Amino acid sequence: MGPVEECCVKTQVAIIGGGPSGLLLAQLLQTRGIDSVVLERKTKAHVLSRIRAGVLERGLVGLLEEAGCADRLHAEGFTHDGTLLSYGDEMFRVDFAAHTGTPVVVYGQTEVTRDLYAAREASGGPIAFEVEDVRIEGADGPTPSVIYSQGGQMRRVDCDFIAGCDGFHGVSRQAIPLDQRQEYEKVYPFGWLGILSETPPVNDELIYANSERGFALCSMRNANLSRYYIQCSLSDSPEDWTDEGFWEELKRRIPADQAAKLVTGPSIEKSIAPLRSFVCAPMRWGRLFLCGDAAHIVPPTGAKGLNTAASDVHYLHRALTRFYETGESDGIESYSTDALARVWKTQRFSWWFSSLMHRYPDQSAFDLHMQVAELEHLRSNQAAQKAMAENYVGLPY
């Protein structure tokens, strides 16, 4: 049975994707009186069940404040003034607050998304869930629209602009003709096996560990919810790893004094994420703007995925607000250039930090010495620490 009827609504901005980029953009536009419709492929419960990022840059915190969605973040988030890096049993701290005057905030992406949904619902802004067969039409002309089906019925949103916030596997990037876009990609020869456990974190700040057995990261969501990762083979699947096997491997990769105080327990989530660097350019095609993972992916070392999505939202909502409030389209014209300038710098940092901390299958003895030399330089050199801190807390928009 095909679709039976076509319903049409009109809005200013059609937003494809109800993840953090789409919802944050919708709320920021709403505060300036700009209407939007959000289209999400999954259910709300599914979106809220995804365990992903957890470290927020100052810029993202500022955007959440501007959107009126930061009360719980300020009440429940944890301020981190620095982070620890280890190699073997050596460990040192990079002090973000001392070098930049700014901390980062640990608050899960799930909670960010929950707060954004609550704000969207409270403001009565429309969200359509479980949309299918989403298609973009007329983005290179003056009257774009998004066609989709929901519950067997075809629907259409006519709009001024389309924000493609539908993640790496969405339809928005594919809507830009192949000869109009360039894609740049680096695939890393390993993944991250992550678990979430209801145990107190091993340390009150994150520990990034370079060990001869591979990378590990000790992170957290709150005082009794820990997130740990270990570098794993791309051929592994989560079922290959028992909880006991994971804990034993993690203990071998972090300094002995940390391993000795690690509290273990059953995992409540276990997953593997492959590591990839990816950029699509340009990020605008006519009246279609790509935002967040739809346009770029970073390896998670350095926690830049969600934060870079937020910086796109910053540029896009400024451009659209300027257009609707003054009629000026210069921000729209320069959106792709502005967003990409910061994206590439964040790509560089994520690539550098990933290269510094992981074991690569083809690494030579010379390469290993270079990693140690760089870590020791970072340990002993305040200028190097400042450069890392500036990138970690987030480059200015």
Ligand X SMILES: Cc1cc2nc3c(=O)[nH]c(=O)nc-3n(C[C@H](O)[C@H](O)[C@H](O)COP(=O)(O)OP(=O)(O)OC[C@H]3O[C@@H](n4cnc5c(N)ncnc54)[C@H](O)[C@@H]3O)c2cc1C
Q: How far is the CB of 257 from ligand X (least distance, A)?
A: 25
Considering the rule CB under 6 A, would residue 20 count as an interface residue with ligand X? Answer: yes
Determine which one of 300, 314, 315, 358 is catalytic.
300
Q: How far is the CB of 368 from ligand X (least distance, A)?
A: 26
Of 2-10, 46-54, 240-248, 363-371, which segment contacts ligand X by CB under 6 A? 46-54
Q: Which member of 29, 53, 162, 232 binds ligand X (CB under 6 A)? A: 53
Cβ closest to ligand X, residue 166 vs residue 249: 166
In the structure encoding, which two tokens stand for residue 129, read together? 């869930």
Of 37-45, 207-215, 252-260, 337-345, which segment contacts ligand X by CB under 6 A? 37-45
Q: Which residues of 4-15 are buried (b: 16+ CB within 10 A; e: fewer)?
A: eeeeeeebbbbb
Q: How far is the CB of 31 from ligand X (least distance, A)?
A: 19
Residue list 71-100, contact with ligand X (CB under 6 A):
none
Cβ closest to ligand X, residue 20 vs residue 144: 20
Question: CA 31 → CA 15, 66, 120, 265, distances in Å?
Answer: 16, 8, 11, 43
Cβ closest to ligand X, residue 98 vs residue 272: 272
Q: Which member of 13, 19, 173, 340 binds ligand X (CB under 6 A)? A: 19
Residue list 349-378, contact with ligand X (CB under 6 A):
none
Considering the rule CB under 6 A, would residue 42 count as an interface residue with ligand X? Answer: yes
Taking alpha carbons only, the member of 384, 371, 379, 162 closest to residue 283 is: 162
Considering the rule CB under 6 A, would residue 21 count as an interface residue with ligand X? Answer: yes
Q: How far is the CB of 207 from ligand X (least distance, A)?
A: 14
Q: How far is the CB of 50 from ligand X (least distance, A)?
A: 7
Residue list 147-176, contact with ligand X (CB under 6 A):
165-167, 170-171
Cβ closest to ligand X, residue 156 vs residue 379: 156
Residue list 252-291, contact with ligand X (CB under 6 A):
271, 273
Query: Is 392 tagged catalytic?
Result: yes
Q: How far is the CB of 302 from ligand X (least distance, A)?
A: 8
Query: Is 208 tagged catalytic?
Result: yes
Q: Could you give the residue numbers annotated as active site?
A: 80, 208, 300, 304, 392
Task: Give the interface with ligand X as residue ranges (CB under 6 A).
Answer: 16-22, 39-42, 47, 52-54, 109, 131, 134, 165-167, 170-171, 271, 273, 292-293, 300, 303-307, 309
